[in-house]
Amino acid sequence: MTLRIGIILGSTRPGRRGDQIASWVLDIARIHGGADYEMIDLAHHNLGNLDEGGNPNLRQYEHTHTRAWSELIDSFDGYIFVAPEYNHSFPGALKNALDYVYREWNNKAAGIVSYGGWAAGVRAAEALRLVLAELQVATVRAQPAIPLIPTFSSGVFTPNESLTASVDSMLYQLISWSDALRGVRGLKENLPVKAPPIGPTW
């Protein structure tokens, strides 16, 4: 089966720059190949603030929007997070979306494309890596980091060749890790004795 990779646009802010960056990443990914790629724009999913009363590890969701989000996230083998840096971290909308579900993220791989001011979003990426580790998502090392100046000096995203090459490097790692972890998920499903699930305790 062909790998499925979701490109998650992590900002819902009006006037965001991430939509141009995410579309650029999607174009490169489709040329790169190795998987089917799909854009996931958090602004289109109407998750609101986390409103599920139960532990997401149990997957006993009350709301239609959560069940739809669960089904979508579960359908992917890996992810690319396009994340800006807000005040030394990544956006609250992205943290909220991550927290809605748990097991759907487990034993999958992710790449991060960060963007921001002088630090190019790298501090947001480091904070995101900590959260993804708790969700049992393996993040690849290659990480495109995009400074808003000069790439948006004209108001339109104008990446250079080194940024394009860094996305390609990330994709090589992400595809291989996503494929390997799909095997891990298959092994866990076929274990004769199921280990108790490890997840958030609320």
pLDDT of residue 187: 84
Q: Within its chain, how far is the Cα of 45 from the centroid? A: 15
Q: Give dist(CA 129, CA 176) in Å, integer.
A: 19
Q: What is the pLDDT of residues 23-59, one digit of tens each?
A: 999 999 999 999 999 999 999 998 999 999 999 999 9
CATH superfamily of the 4-189 domain: Flavodoxin domain (3.40.50.360)
Domain ranges of the chain: 4-189
- Is the pLDDT at 193 greater than 60? The verdict is no
Q: Do residues 96 and 16 make contact, with C-beta atoms less than 8 angstroms apart?
A: no
**Mean pLDDT along residues 68-74:** 98
Q: How many CB atoms lie within 10 A of CB 10?
A: 27
What average pLDDT does the chain have? Answer: 94
Q: What is the pLDDT of residues 122-177, one digit of tens each?
A: 999 999 999 999 999 999 999 999 999 999 999 999 999 999 999 999 999 999 99
